[in-house]
Amino acid sequence: MAQTLTIGGIDIAPGEQKQLQLPVSKLYTDTEISIPVHVIRSKKPGPTVFISAAVHGDELNGIEITRRLIAQQLKLTRGTLIVVPMVNVYGVLNQSRYMPDRRDLNRCFPGSAKGTPAGRLAHIFLNEIVKHCDYGIDLHTGAIHRSNLPQIRANLKDDETLMLAEAFGVPVLLNANLRDGSLRESAVNHGARILLYEAGEALRFDELSIQTGIKGVLNVLSALGMIRKRRSKRKIEPFVTNRSNWTRANASGFVRDFVELGQQVEKGTVLSEINSPLGAVIAQVISHRAGIIIGKQNIPLVQEGDAMFHIAYFGEADDEVAEHIETMQEQVQPISAAMPLL
């Protein structure tokens, strides 16, 4: 770890804690757009970790996770923590997944200083934040009208990444290939190990997803020796899946669901019915394999071909996965209304 960390021209020495605004660009109204950054440094050398949220601007759970983490005023025993509550500030302003140029920021890395608006933002974030880091946790949700069960996606073939994914403390680990242009791909190319946390729905706060995310981040920091060891009521043993598929609508109409997020289903289970506006059942959506529902569409309207249920396959371990999902849900306690606002 360098003696002095410099972000956006601001120096942060070991033992210091600073909040800063990382300049991005100006709007045509001459309004300055910047990325908020919170940095905590221990006096003792150690890993540098970034926590990023809202790479997609409508994914709000991560913003609340970072807010509550900052409110805890963490004391690091070693290393540096860089918390970035909003990467795609434009998207947050517009309540949109995308950048103003309609590009998906998470497909624009590593970006370019002279590229598109999305490419320039990707370039700034990569060079000012990610390049300093040994590890990262990128916080996401499902898309609009879709919810994801709390899960980690990562390169689980790497032993250290797998160790951190297991430490996070969710029942489902998805071994996911790197996607071209993603933050995760660029971070890995610069030597960082990355966990991608998926939970909840766009434009909504989900308390289970938020609290699970907070616990997960703290568990990872504990595993890296950056904070004191945490005690768990009951350790959640994660299960790794290399296979998952979306079950799609076989007709268009109004939906009546029969299964919930996190539910175990068997081959042949009726997941939902699709009805006509006059009430007739047009079609049934049926699971083609046994597995666990890790993502689902929430809006009760579908067009033929729409993705409706994301099912992960674990084989004989399905029963245990379902049990551990229940354990995770039971461990989440209500957050006090007195939680300080920043």
Mean pLDDT of 211-229: 96
Query: Could you give the CA distance from residue 286 to residue 321 in angstroms, rounded to a whole number?
Result: 21
What integer pLDDT is reported at residue 338 of this predicted model? 39
Question: How deeply is 279 buried, as exposed, middle or buried, from its count of CB atoms within 10 A (0-12, 13-18, 19+)?
Answer: exposed
Q: Is the confidence at residue 304, as pLDDT, over 50? A: yes
Whether 5-239 and 244-312 share one fold: the answer is no
Cα within 13 Å of Cα(32), Cβ side: 6
Residue 323 binned pLDDT confidence (cut-offs 50, 70, 90): confident
Sequence-separated (6 or more) residues with CB below 8 Å from residue 27: 33
150, two tokens = 């709390």
The CATH architecture that domain 5-239 belongs to is: 3-Layer(aba) Sandwich (3.40)
Residue 327 binned pLDDT confidence (cut-offs 50, 70, 90): confident
Mean pLDDT of 205-221: 97
What integer pLDDT is reported at residue 237 of this predicted model? 80
Domain over 244-312 is classified CATH 2.40.50.100:
yes
Mean pLDDT of 98-118: 96
Which residue is listed with tokens 């991005």? Answer: 24
Mean pLDDT of 267-274: 97
Mean pLDDT of 140-156: 96
What integer pLDDT is reported at residue 334 of this predicted model? 52
Query: Could you give the CA distance from residue 182 to residue 180 in angstroms, rounded to a whole number?
Result: 6
What is the share, in percent, of the chain residues with pLDDT greater than 70?
Answer: 95
Q: Where are the domains of the chain?
A: 5-239, 244-312
Cis peptide before 150 (omega within 30 of 0): no
| Stretch among 30-39, 167-176, 318-327 having the lowest mean pLDDT | 318-327
Residues forming beta bridges with residue 162, ordered by sequence position = none
Q: Is the confidence at residue 141, as pLDDT, over 60? A: yes
Query: Could you give the CA distance from residue 137 to residue 81 in angstroms, rounded to a whole number?
Result: 11
What integer pLDDT is reported at residue 131 of this predicted model? 97
3-state secondary structure at position 49:
strand
161, two tokens = 């990444």
